[in-house]
Amino acid sequence: MSRQHNIQRAITELFDVVVIGGGITGAGIALTAARKGWKTLIIDKHDFAFGTSSRSAKMIHGGLRYLQNLQIKLVKEALHEREHLLKEYPHLVKPQPFFMPIYKSRLSKIKLGIGLSGYDYLTGESSMPKHAEIDLEEVKQRFPQLKTDAMVGGFVYYDAKTNDARLTNEVIQEACDLGAIALNYFELTTLQKGNNKIKSITCEDKIAEKSFTIKSKVFIAATGIWTDEILRKFDSNDTKKYMMPSKGVHLIVSANHFPKDCVMLLPTANGDGRMIWCMPWDDNLNVIGTTDTDYNEGNDEIFILENEVKYILDSVNAQLKEKKLTEDDILSVYAGIRPLLNDNDENKKSNQRSRDYQIWWNNDNMLTISGGKLTSFLSMAENCIKTIEEKHAIQSTDNDEIIINTLIDNFKHRYGVKNATLIANIAQEELELTQQFTGYEYCPAEIIFFIRYQNGQKLDDILTRRTLISYQMKDFDEDLVKTVSEIMAKELNWSAEQITIEINLYKHSWKLMHSWK
């Protein structure tokens, strides 16, 4: 459906739930509500997955290090959800081995072995192997890049990886397939209250620059790092600080620098006890991360500092034998802000604070959910919906199953059978739409798919969050950007002036990903 059609529905219908926030948490809630047959709307003031949900560690994991803080319930839930996501989204969530080195300390080896055994136990039945110890000779063969002077061997264990932004948008698309409405660039500006309820909300469509009123039985704030901001709109007198976020910086380099079949976990160079990981990702990229520092600046534009880049490079290079990484090897950078809850303990370092989440009622029909991990988004959504059902009687209705019969081999490995079929249908409009862009493993049909079915409205939406082109584009590719902008202009009725504006906006975003202070 067109954006205009969705807005018309949004302003004329009474919803069962309106989800404010289009990150992975809000996406999971919208899908869970839609599966129950609830009339559902999800909105975001930016693009879907604009914030943390496109700037995460790209891992679907239980969180081995959380066991050190005895967050056993959190880890067990995440491991259960990891297995669920591997089965439900196999084209987006994929098994990934991790290598953990053991240095000259018998105690470290024993402690790590116990921790990994506990990790396997909490996992229960799994499609992935349990951890295994490897000796020094195997380490040298599998990881010839690494210094092994102080090493006595290592462990290999399994978690999973994903494309976080694409996962978020596919979950939202799945909700829309079941009847939900999704509107990005649709910002909540004010809430109209009365009798301890939200009667309606006013939103600004940032594309058309118009305001609209939305009504719903229940409103859910799932805004992550923007939780404090949204709750100030709910109650301007509320001065409580609900969030205490932390910042994680990541570098993108070519996958050719490291093993393509295993994540390498490496100790940091400054002795702070943390680990840096080098993870093979999609499109021949490798993600290196991460920092973990307190953050109290703006959430809309996040700048990477030179000392953060140096911290990561120094840590990796300290463990490499010969070919060291330099700034020239960096294809792009990004920083994610973790939505950590404020536990009122200012003495705790950010990496010691809980990754758990909380759900609470602000009044009779506004619910807030915040905190949590990417891996656990569906169980978080289920608990959120259960909380609503305990307070409100919302009737469920049955939805017809959407049956997809056509299998398109060229696209199914990346998008799954259902979306591969949609892309194939688009490609049938013009066969040239399947011709790949020079230097990038994407084609125009995929761009059109992201616009029509996954709410792509801006160049940054497509090139950064629906594809990985921004991460690969070390030097600004004027021709590619112009080509994609022309495809979008045709789909979204952009004028020549609008094309120039959109290219300049994207160039600004691209520069943020390719520079540091």
pLDDT at 286: 97
**290 preceded by cis ω (within 30°)?**
yes
Neighbouring residues of 453: CB distance < 8 A, sequence distance ≥ 6: 173, 176, 419, 422
Residue 64 vs residue 186, higher pLDDT:
186
CA–CA separation, 260 and 278 (whole Å): 10
Dihedral (CA of 413, 414, 418, 422) sign: negative
What is the end-to-end Cα distance of the chain in Å, rounded?
43
Nearest Cα to Cα of residue 54 among 241, 252, 208: 252
Neighbouring residues of 297: CB distance < 8 A, sequence distance ≥ 6: none
Nearest Cα to Cα of residue 56 among 516, 465, 470: 465
Q: What is the mean pLDDT of residues 60-77?
A: 82
Neighbouring residues of 390: CB distance < 8 A, sequence distance ≥ 6: none
Neighbouring residues of 121: CB distance < 8 A, sequence distance ≥ 6: none
Flag the least confident range among 27-36, 387-396, 401-410, 506-515: 401-410
* Amino acid at position 21, single letter: G
pLDDT digits (tens, 9 = 90+) for 85-119: 999 999 999 999 999 999 877 777 888 888 899 88
Neighbouring residues of 312: CB distance < 8 A, sequence distance ≥ 6: 249, 251, 276, 288, 289, 290, 291
pLDDT at 398: 47
Q: Which spans in 156-305 are helix H?
A: 164-177, 227-234
CA 437 to chain centre: 25
CA–CA separation, 32 and 22 (whole Å): 14
| Whole-number Cα distances in Å, 114 to 67, 76, 101 | 11, 16, 15
Nearest Cα to Cα of residue 341 among 368, 379, 375, 377: 368
Dihedral (CA of 295, 297, 303, 305) sign: negative
CA–CA separation, 464 and 513 (whole Å): 10
Flag the least confident range among 28-37, 200-209, 283-292, 400-409: 400-409
What are the structural domains, with CATH classification, of the chain?
3-52+165-243+354-391 (3.50.50.60), 93-155+247-339 (3.30.9.10), 409-513 (1.10.8)
| Phi and psi at residue 352, to the nearest 5° | -100, -10
Nearest Cα to Cα of residue 327 among 342, 300, 298, 307: 307
CA gyration radius, the chain:
23
Angle between helix 409-427 and 444-453 (nearest 10):
70
CA–CA separation, 456 and 447 (whole Å): 8
How sure is the predictor about 352, in pLDDT bands with cuts at 50, 70 and 90? low
Neighbouring residues of 429: CB distance < 8 A, sequence distance ≥ 6: none
Q: What is the mean pLDDT of residues 12-38?
A: 95
Residue 63's region, left for phi above 0, alpha for psi from -120 to 50, else beta, is: left
pLDDT digits (tens, 9 = 90+) for 223-249: 999 999 999 999 988 888 999 999 999
**What percentage of the chain reaches a pLDDT higher than 90?**
73
pLDDT digits (tens, 9 = 90+) for 154-189: 999 999 999 999 999 999 999 999 999 999 999 999
Q: What is the mean pLDDT of residues 265-286?
A: 92
Neighbouring-strand partners of residue 360: 368
Q: What is the mean pLDDT of residues 304-333?
A: 95
For residue 403, pLDDT over 70 is answered with no
What's the predicted TM-score (pTM) here? Answer: 0.85
Look at the chain and count its residues: 517
| Whole-number Cα distances in Å, 160 to 33, 62, 87, 100, 276 | 26, 9, 12, 15, 17
Neighbouring residues of 216: CB distance < 8 A, sequence distance ≥ 6: 14, 15, 16, 17, 18, 41, 198, 201, 365
Angle between helix 478-492 and 444-453 (nearest 10):
40
Long-range contacts of 322-326 (CB under 8 A, 24+ apart): 322/145, 323/145, 323/257, 325/253, 325/257
pLDDT at 271: 83
CA–CA separation, 257 and 285 (whole Å): 9
CA 49 to chain centre: 6
How sure is the predictor about 128, in pLDDT bands with cuts at 50, 70 and 90? confident
